């Protein structure tokens, strides 16, 4: 029932998934919306843009790492866990609904403190990952979380041992109506829970096992420097050059990154193998028959639904290939290599000032629903965003929901580019979702990964539609549409190709043993070539580019959730366009966000007349994507 692994996230690339369920990594404490992959990295700062001094104010959590309140909360948290163990161990089966409510209320209060502590440690570390003292704080919180888990894991074990009929009578009691979904979900893990002693051991060993290797991966790549014209640059800055309009720069960036990955390949291969083996062992102990079963359970979905998504996407690989052939023609590049995929159609020196980006997002959000604009304004007014680029700051972007008695915080690296505006819209979509869902309480505020991207991607679509409506020049319109197509390919098609890579490496590890670097690369290239076909020529060097992607380590099986969310939002945006009463749609939308994780995803999406369990559902989003391609092709003819 109670997921008591409350250690902080060490960089997990995921969105808000605050639903706490047994057997999930404690990295679920913080949820990230995106990570520094090829498709989300931002160009290096070239001109002043107004975000250089945009830093968040974490004083709503703690004044500093040495704040006496932080130490006090750590002590009180541990004492409360010990007191709960003393009072409740051996009694769970005897609790009636009213007593269960008291326990849940007490547990949620404990979680608020735990989430505030863990979030603060991770947030402040994110802005300076090279500060050893902040890394130490993260580790301290991880160890504290493990200790608390060991005290409280008996509740999971005892609750899941309760007879199904007795448990159902408690779940159905009206006094627990506002916690019902959480209680129902918890029972899905009944067959995969071990004894209390075994759970304690697993919790204790996680700190020095899987969690330690994930942190080592993060810090290894965080400290890595890549050669660039006599300089040593962080990974994020060199990745950004793959978006440069000058082909020679993209080639040089590709060579620099490949050389750097090659220098770390032995270490990264070992880390990957260790994480694969760790998951294999955990799954065996818990009786999971597939490597991705636990992910589907946590995402409140099933293998059949996910397979329908995968089949729909892989069955339409010809569509992204069509986009790349169009780009190749427009850019005059033949053949198009893997380092050409993100080449922009137009070279622009325009820098979008932070204030302008703020206005663009606020206007789009306010026009959709006034409350959405009001909540978004709070992030700017109260310094809940850290947007400045600085040495040591982690790349990418995320929105951390923190705890339901505080508010979310957003981290990004703003460089004044158009894609940064879309990133801001994306993260603020998460922020609005997290802010609204706080009313559901700590146990039901978060959503599963499958629907956690809804608000973020929908927010991007609102800003995209507003941008393109403001353009008159067909070439500028085409450039924006192609940029959106690039993003959709990265979010849907590339993520599913990475899911196919994950499936291969987990299966290989379980059937054939440890993988060599070359075997990882072979699986990577085969799944990538399936996606790109003859539209993009994959260089031999690209074979090593699996090694820097954090998704595979932080949250195994995670990546399909991106595709799930993107296609869902494309279908939703189509519903919104066709709606005769757009105000009613917006009200329904805000209500769905406020529901958080208190209902099944298919029930929430059914509010819009959509059925995500229908295998044909995914074709709706793919059809919208196809229409965007047709729009690009039409604009290309117009300017030719």
**pLDDT tens readout for residues 82-139:** 999 999 999 999 999 999 999 999 999 999 999 999 999 999 999 998 899 999 999 9
pLDDT over 50 (residue 43)? no
Residues 212, 213, 217: CA angle, nearest 5 degrees = 120
Distance from C-alpha of 368 to C-alpha of 362, rounded to nearest angstrom: 10
Please state which of the ranges 101-105, 174-178, 405-409, 474-478 shows the lowest mean pLDDT.
474-478
Distance from C-alpha of 413 to C-alpha of 156, rounded to nearest angstrom: 40
pLDDT over 50 (residue 15)? no
Structure tokens at 625: 């994507």
Residue 125 near residue 137, CB atoms below 8 Å: yes
Please state which of the ranges 13-27, 312-326, 482-496, 540-554 shows the lowest mean pLDDT.
13-27
Kind of pairing, strands 225-228 and 231-234? antiparallel
Q: Which residue has the higher pLDDT, 492 or 23?
A: 492
Question: Residue 394's pLDDT is what?
Answer: 83
Percent of the chain at pLDDT > 70 equals 92
pLDDT over 80 (residue 1)? no
Question: Residue 241's pLDDT is what?
Answer: 92
Q: Render pLDDT for 51-75 as a digit per residue (tens, 0 to 9).
A: 999 999 999 999 999 999 999 999 9
Banded model confidence at residue 28, pLDDT cuts 50, 70, 90: very low
Banded model confidence at residue 158, pLDDT cuts 50, 70, 90: very high
* Model pTM above 0.95: no
Q: Render pLDDT for 395-446 as a digit per residue (tens, 0 to 9).
A: 789 999 999 999 999 999 998 888 899 999 999 999 999 999 999 999 999 9
How many helices (H) does the chain have, and how many strands (E)?
Answer: 25, 5
Question: Residue 345's pLDDT is what?
Answer: 83
Kind of pairing, strands 385-386 and 231-234? unpaired
Banded model confidence at residue 349, pLDDT cuts 50, 70, 90: low
Distance from C-alpha of 312 to C-alpha of 306, rounded to nearest angstrom: 10
What mean pLDDT comes out for the span 547-572?
Answer: 92
Residue of 319, 342, 318 whose CA lies nearest to 630: 319
Please state which of the ranges 15-29, 108-122, 281-295 shows the lowest mean pLDDT.
15-29
Token pair 């939308």 is found at 589
Distance from C-alpha of 150 to C-alpha of 130, rounded to nearest angstrom: 31
Residue 442 near residue 401, CB atoms below 8 Å: no
Structure tokens at 245: 């309009």
Question: Residue 451's pLDDT is what?
Answer: 87
Structure tokens at 560: 């399909």
Q: Render pLDDT for 597-623 as a digit per residue (tens, 0 to 9).
A: 999 999 999 999 999 989 899 999 999
Distance from C-alpha of 499 to C-alpha of 517, rounded to nearest angstrom: 19
Residue 409 near residue 382, CB atoms below 8 Å: no
Residue 490 near residue 39, CB atoms below 8 Å: yes
Structure tokens at 29: 């404490």
Which range has the top average pLDDT, 153-157, 224-228, 611-615? 224-228
Banded model confidence at residue 347, pLDDT cuts 50, 70, 90: low
Banded model confidence at residue 34, pLDDT cuts 50, 70, 90: very low
Mean pLDDT, all residues of the chain: 89
What mean pLDDT comes out for the span 361-374?
Answer: 97
Question: Residue 27's pLDDT is what?
Answer: 29
Please state which of the ranges 140-149, 200-209, 437-446, 610-619 shows the lowest mean pLDDT.
200-209
Collapsed DSSP state (helix, strand, coil) of residue 434 = helix
Cα distances (Å, whole numbers) of residue 428 to 97, 398, 483, 573, 595:
38, 10, 20, 17, 18
pLDDT over 50 (residue 207)? yes
Q: What is the CA radius of gyration of the chain?
A: 24
Residue 538 near residue 532, CB atoms below 8 Å: yes
Question: Residue 46's pLDDT is what?
Answer: 53
Structure tokens at 623: 């059809």
User: In 301-369, which residue ranges form alpha helices assigned H by DSSP?
Assistant: 303-314, 318-331, 354-368
Tell me what percent of the chain is helix, strand and coil, each rounded to the nearest 5.
Answer: 65, 5, 30
């Amino acid at each position: 029932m109670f997921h008591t692994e409350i250690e902080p996230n060490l960089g997990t690339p995921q969105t808000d998934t605050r639903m706490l369920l047994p057997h999930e990594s404690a990295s679920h404490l913080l949820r990230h919306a995106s990570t520094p992959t090829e498709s989300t990295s931002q160009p290096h700062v070239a001109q002043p843009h107004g975000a250089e001094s945009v830093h968040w104010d974490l004083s709503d959590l703690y004044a500093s790492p040495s704040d006496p309140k932080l130490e006090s909360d750590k002590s009180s948290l541990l004492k409360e866990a010990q007191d709960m163990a003393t009072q409740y161990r051996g009694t769970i089966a005897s609790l009636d609904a009213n007593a269960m409510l008291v326990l849940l209320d007490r547990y949620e209060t404990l979680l608020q403190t735990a989430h505030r502590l863990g979030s603060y440690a991770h947030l402040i570390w994110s802005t300076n990952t090279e500060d050893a003292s902040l890394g130490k704080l993260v580790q301290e919180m991880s160890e504290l979380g493990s200790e608390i888990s060991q005290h409280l894991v008996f509740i999971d074990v005892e609750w899941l041992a309760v007879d199904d009929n007795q448990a159902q009578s408690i779940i159905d009691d009206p006094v627990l109506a506002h916690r019902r979904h959480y209680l129902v979900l918890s029972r899905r893990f009944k067959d995969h829970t071990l004894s209390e002693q075994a759970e304690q051991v697993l919790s204790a060993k996680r700190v020095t096992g899987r969690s330690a290797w994930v942190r080592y991966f993060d810090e290894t790549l965080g400290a890595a420097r890549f050669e660039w014209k006599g300089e040593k640059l962080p990974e994020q800055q060199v990745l950004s050059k793959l978006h440069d309009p000058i082909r020679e720069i993209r080639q040089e960036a590709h060579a620099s990154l490949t050389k750097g990955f090659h220098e770390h390949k032995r270490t990264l291969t070992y880390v990957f193998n260790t994480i694969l083996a760790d998951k294999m062992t955990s799954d065996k102990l818990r009786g999971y028959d597939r490597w991705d079963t636990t992910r589907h359970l946590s995402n409140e979905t099933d293998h059949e639904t996910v397979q329908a998504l995968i089949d729909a996407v892989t069955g339409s690989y010809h569509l992204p290939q069509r986009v790349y052939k169009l780009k190749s023609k427009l850019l005059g590049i033949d053949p198009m290599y893997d380092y050409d995929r993100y080449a922009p159609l137009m070279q622009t020196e325009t820098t979008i000032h932070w204030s302008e980006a703020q206005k663009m997002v606020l206007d789009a959000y306010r026009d959709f629903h006034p409350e959405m604009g009001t909540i978004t304004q709070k992030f700017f007014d109260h310094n809940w965003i850290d947007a400045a680029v600085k040495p040591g700051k982690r790349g990418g972007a995320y929105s951390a929901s923190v705890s339901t008695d505080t508010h979310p915080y957003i981290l990004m690296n703003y460089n004044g580019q158009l894609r940064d505006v879309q990133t801001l819209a994306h993260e603020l979509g998460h922020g609005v979702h997290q802010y609204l869902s706080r009313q559901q309480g700590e146990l039901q505020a978060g959503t599963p990964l499958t629907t956690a991207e809804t608000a973020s991607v929908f927010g991007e679509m609102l800003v995209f539609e507003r941008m393109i409506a403001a353009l008159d020049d067909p070439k500028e319109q085409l450039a924006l549409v192609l940029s959106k197509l690039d993003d959709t390919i990265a979010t849907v098609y590339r993520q599913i190709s990475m899911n196919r890579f994950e499936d291969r490496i987990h299966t290989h590890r379980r059937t054939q043993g440890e993988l060599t670097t070359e075997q990882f690369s072979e699986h990577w290239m085969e799944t990538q070539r399936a996606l790109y076909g003859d539209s993009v020529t994959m260089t031999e060097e690209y074979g090593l580019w699996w090694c820097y992607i954090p998704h595979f380590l932080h949250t195994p099986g995670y990546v399909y959730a991106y595709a799930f969310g993107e296609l869902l939002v494309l279908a939703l945006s189509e519903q919104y366009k066709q709606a005769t009463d757009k105000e009613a749609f917006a009200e329904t939308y805000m209500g769905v966000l406020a529901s958080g994780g208190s209902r099944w995803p298919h029930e929430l999406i059914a509010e819009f007349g959509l059925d995500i369990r229908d295998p044909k559902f995914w074709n709706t989003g793919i059809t919208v994507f196809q229409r965007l391609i047709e729009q690009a092709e039409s604009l290309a003819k117009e300017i030719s």
